[in-house]
Amino acid sequence: MKCVINRRAQFSASHRYWLPELSEAENFERFGACARSPGHGHNYVLFVAMEGELDDYGMVLNLSDVKRVIKTEITSQLDFSFLNDAWPEFQATLPTTENLARQIWNRLADQLPITNIQLFEHPELWADYQGNAMEAYLTIKTHFSAAHRLANPKLSFEENSEIYGKCARPHGHGHNYHLEVTIKGQIDARTGMIADLGQVQQIIDQYVVEPFDHTFLNKDIAYFAEVVPTAENIAVHIRDLLSQPMASTGAQLHKVKLIESPNNSAEVYALSPLQAAAEQAERVLAQV
């Protein structure tokens, strides 16, 4: 029987985003504060996912061996390092989160049966790499506060209460929503980025955080005048709002996860154009 196991590790390191072929002004325009000298640091958290058959001892791998490999190949070399100088690979490509995840994969793949490298630069930014050439995933986590009421306007209060319980009360209730937006793209061979992080953050702020924050969703967001703002429906709407703008970054939207509370979340994946058209047609028919 196959099983996937995960091993956590961590290291502290600094880096700087700076391309010598660009002028100082061009570097700061492109990378912002990340171009400052002598760089800045992070407490990186690494998760190594590995898949294999369970042996007679109930293990996929001996975790002592896994720990030794990760320490030898990764953490002992990167901990308290300046990443730009730590590995030769970073002379050609900047040590971004996504590129660092890829290089970690390359150094472990011959020794461990890895299926995913997940690297957290900090709790609100992380990358996933799965061994697909230059393809990587980058996730930004943000938040907004909003109120909503779960009630179908076509139903009576009693009917809505039967379906949604306390959430159907007339004056609604609020949440501190946490939003995780994952994009997918190709790592640039020079910058190490799949997209301009500042541009991605700006799109999320412009299309979701600013319009949604401190609102009563049913009243302030036109889409929810007729659509019940469940966590699932909010996640779908956010996906639809972000899909086209995110394409302008050179990457594409991959997934949206909305965490309504510690006990309740919803996640949806991006759609192909055909899937999007079919889903839109279903919504129109459902409202007829």
Which active-site residues does the annotation give?
167, 214, 260
Calculated CA dihedral for residues 51, 8, 263, 147, nearest 10 degrees: -120
Exposure string over 91-120, b if 16+ CB within 10 A, otherwise e: eebbbbbbbbbbbbbebbeeebebebbbbb
Phi-psi region of 124 (alpha: psi -120 to 50; beta: other; left: phi over 0): alpha
Q: How far is CA 54 from the centre of its chain?
A: 31
In one-letter notation, the amino acid at residue 45 is: V
Q: What is the largest CA-CA distance in the chain?
A: 68
Residue 216 makes CB contacts below 8 A (sequence gap 6+) with 146, 147, 148, 149, 172
What residues are paired with 142 via a beta bridge?
179
